[in-house]
Amino acid sequence: MLRLQHVTFSCDDPGRVSEFWAALLGYERAAAGSSWLATDPLGEDVSLLFNQMAKSETIEVPIHLDINVPDREAALDRVLQLGGSLVVTKSFEIGELGDSTTIMRDPEGNGFCLEDPPNTERAHIWNVTFACAEPRELGRFWALALGWPDEDIDESIFQTFRAAGVGEPDISGFHLVKAPNGSRPRFYFHRREKSRPESYPMHLDFATDDREAEVERLVQAGASVVETKQGTNLTFTIMRDPEGNPFCVG
Partner 1 sequence: MLRLLNITFSCNDPERLAEFWATLLDYGAAPAGDSWIATDPRGDGTRLLFNRMEKSETIEVPIHVDVNVPDREAELNRILQLGGQLVETRSDSIGDFSETWTVMRDPEGNGFCIQSPPKTPPHRYIGNVTFSCAEPRQLGAFWAEALGWPEEETDEGFMQQLRDEGVAERDLSGFYVTRPPNAGRPRFLFQRREKSRPTSYPIHLDFSADDRKAEVERLERAGASVVETKEGANLTFTILRDPEGNPFCVG
Q: How far is the CB of 170 from partner 1 (least distance, A)?
A: 5
Question: What is the nearest approach in angstroms of partner 1 to the Cβ of residue 7?
Answer: 21
Specify whether the backbone of 140 is left (phi greater than 0), alpha (psi in -120 to 50) or beta.
alpha
Rounded Cα distance, 40 and 48, in Å:
9
Stretch that binds partner 1, among 12-20, 58-66, 149-157, 202-210 (CB under 8 A): 58-66
Least distance in Å: CB of 123 to partner 1?
18
Smallest gap, in angstroms, from Cβ of residue 104 to partner 1?
A: 8
90 binds partner 1 (CB under 8 A): yes
> CA 2, CA 36: separation in Å to the nearest integer?
23
| HEC assignment per residue over 32-51 | ECCEEEEECCCCCCCEEEEE
Of 11-19, 43-51, 137-145, 187-195, the window that binds partner 1 (rule: CB under 8 A) is 187-195
State how far the Cα of 231 lies from the Cα of 237, in Å rounded to an integer.
11
C-alpha 135/C-alpha 139 separation (Å) is 6
- Alpha-carbon distance 181 to 104, whole Å? 30
Q: Does the footprint of partner 1 cover residue 228 (CB under 8 A)?
A: no
**Min CB(95)–partner 1 separation in Å:** 8
Near partner 1 by CB under 8 A, which window of 9-17, 140-148, 167-175, 207-215? Answer: 167-175
Task: Give yes or no for residue 191 binding partner 1 (CB under 8 A).
Answer: yes
Choice from 92, 96, 230, 232 touching partner 1 (CB under 8 A): 92
Check residue 194 for interaction with partner 1 (CB under 8 A): yes
Closest CA to 135 of 244, 243, 247: 243
How far is residue 67's CA from residue 48's CA, in Å, rounded to a whole number? Answer: 13
Strand-pair partners of 104: 86, 112
Q: Does 89 bind partner 1 (CB under 8 A)?
A: yes
192 near partner 1 (CB under 8 A): yes
Chain positions contacting partner 1, by CB under 8 A: 58-60, 76, 79-80, 84-94, 105, 109, 133, 164-167, 169-170, 191-195
